[in-house]
Structure formats: C-alpha cells, structure tokens
C-alpha cells in the first residue's frame, strides 16, 4: 500500500510540474506578445493546457460529493467539512439549489444593506437542522444518483441510500437524502424539504400513488 501511495504521489507531482510549466509559458507569451492574446497561437496553447488539466484531473481520480442528510463521510473519504442544509428564503427563487453550509461560519462576514436574498435553515419537523457533509471520494471518476432503486449497477460502489426529496412549496432541485434523515421526513415532512412520492403519471402496475421514490448515490 505504501508503494502505491508513493507512486501516485510522484505521478501527481509530475503532472503538477507539467501544468505549472505550461501555464507559465502561456503567461510569458501573453506578456511579451500582447497581439497573440486573441490569435490562433494563443487559442492552441490554451486548448493544450485545458487538455492537460482534464487529463491530470482524471489521473488523480478524486471527486467532490455532498452527503445530504448525514454529517459523516464514508471510511476512506476525506471530510472537507460538516454542516447543515440551507435554502434561499425568496419565494420567487424557484430554482434555488440547496446549499451545504459549514457549521464553522465566517468569523468576519461583510455586512450588506437591504438584502434581497437570504438563507434559511432547512429543519425537520422537530426544528432540528438537517445535516450534510462535503466529502472527497478517491479512486473514482463518476458519481451519479440513481432514482427509484436502492442498488448500484454492477462494479459500482454505494455511497449512500436514501429517498428523493425537494422543496414542497417551491419545487426546484431534487436531492437524495440519506435514510438517516429521510426516514423521518416520510412521516413528518418539513416546509423546506419533503420526500417525493410517485403519482398517477406512473405507468407501472407495481407502483401506487404515495409510494416514496427511493434513490442511491453510486460511484465508479
């Protein structure tokens, strides 16, 4: 295991050195020859740099994932921060996404006058904050949420299982909420987050109205 980590670290440093050299070359060319800023040469250099960045990102195989409804990351993942879910309090913000707000707030926030948009906590029926976490998943290239199932495809790994949920007053973003929290939402939905149920549109005989829509977050 130590040899593998040493090899991966060495490769990562080599990739970073190459990217730094490419970026410095583009910067020098831009400073010494301003006319090339919008030229095909500049575009070609930029495209090459972008390709190197993309390739290096895939080589590192690290992804950022949000755990909705849980403050913990899986074993082996890096917990960037734990927090709680918040959402915009503007009723017109129908497409407002849920945000995982860190529990450690900015100690010196900048004040603004006459704010038009504010964040409010997403609480459960008992008034408690619904937790979340930002996690770095290693050795994975794809993270995807599969709905209406609790199992991942073959060769995929389960990140967590839950129920699909959204804002009942202003439906916008749908998120997969961990069963640790969503089980409670089945009986007592909050005003900002409720489990989604199947409806009459569903053509499958196996489903009935009011069946909760399950979900599973998978990675590979």
Predicted pLDDT at 59: 46
31-35, 128-132, 139-143, 213-217: which has the minimum mean pLDDT? 31-35
Predicted pLDDT at 43: 54
Q: What percent of the chain has pLDDT over 70?
A: 63
Q: What percent of the chain has pLDDT over 90?
A: 31
Is pLDDT larger for residue 114 or for residue 212?
Answer: 212
Taking residues 105-122, what's their average pLDDT?
Answer: 80
Taking residues 61-65, what's their average pLDDT?
Answer: 78
pLDDT band at residue 1 using 50, 70 and 90 as cut-offs: very low
Pick the most confident of 19-28, 92-101, 191-200: 191-200
Predicted pLDDT at 184: 87
Predicted pLDDT at 131: 95
Q: Is 140's pLDDT higher than 70? A: yes
Dist CA 99 CA 173 (whole Å):
11
Q: Is 39's pLDDT higher than 60? A: no
Predicted pLDDT at 54: 45
User: Contacts for 193-197 with beta carbons within 8 Å, 24 or more apart?
Assistant: 193/85, 193/98, 193/122, 193/130, 193/165, 193/166, 193/167, 193/168, 194/165, 194/166, 194/167, 194/168, 195/163, 195/164, 195/165, 196/163, 196/164, 196/165, 196/166
Is pLDDT larger for residue 57 or for residue 160?
Answer: 160
pLDDT band at residue 53 using 50, 70 and 90 as cut-offs: very low
Taking residues 179-201, what's their average pLDDT?
Answer: 83
**Residue 190 CA, distance from chain mean position:** 22
Tell me which residue of 13, 10, 18, 27 sits closest to 52, measured CA to CA.
Answer: 18
């Amino acid at each position: 295991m130590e040899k593998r980590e040493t090899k991966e670290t060495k490769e990562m440093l080599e990739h970073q050195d190459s990217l730094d050299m490419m970026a410095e070359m583009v910067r020098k060319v831009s400073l010494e020859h301003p006319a090339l800023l919008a030229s095909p040469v500049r575009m070609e250099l930029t495209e090459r740099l972008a390709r190197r960045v993309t390739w290096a990102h895939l080589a590192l195989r690290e992804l950022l994932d949000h755990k909705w409804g849980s403050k913990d990351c899986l074993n082996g993942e890096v917990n960037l921060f734990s927090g709680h879910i918040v959402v915009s309090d503007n009723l017109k913000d129908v497409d407002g996404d849920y945000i995982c707000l860190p529990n450690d707030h900015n100690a010196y926030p900048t004040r603004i006058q006459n704010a038009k948009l504010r964040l409010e906590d997403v609480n459960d029926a008992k008034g408690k904050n619904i937790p979340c976490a930002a996690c770095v998943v290693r050795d994975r290239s794809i993270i995807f949420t599969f709905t209406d199932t609790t199992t991942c495809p073959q060769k995929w790994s389960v990140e967590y299982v839950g129920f699909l949920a959204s804002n009942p007053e202003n439906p916008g973003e749908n998120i997969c909420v961990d069963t640790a929290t969503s089980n409670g939402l089945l009986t007592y939905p909050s005003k900002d987050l409720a489990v989604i149920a199947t409806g009459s549109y569903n053509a499958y005989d196996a489903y009935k109205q009011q069946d909760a829509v399950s979900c599973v977050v998978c990675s590979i």
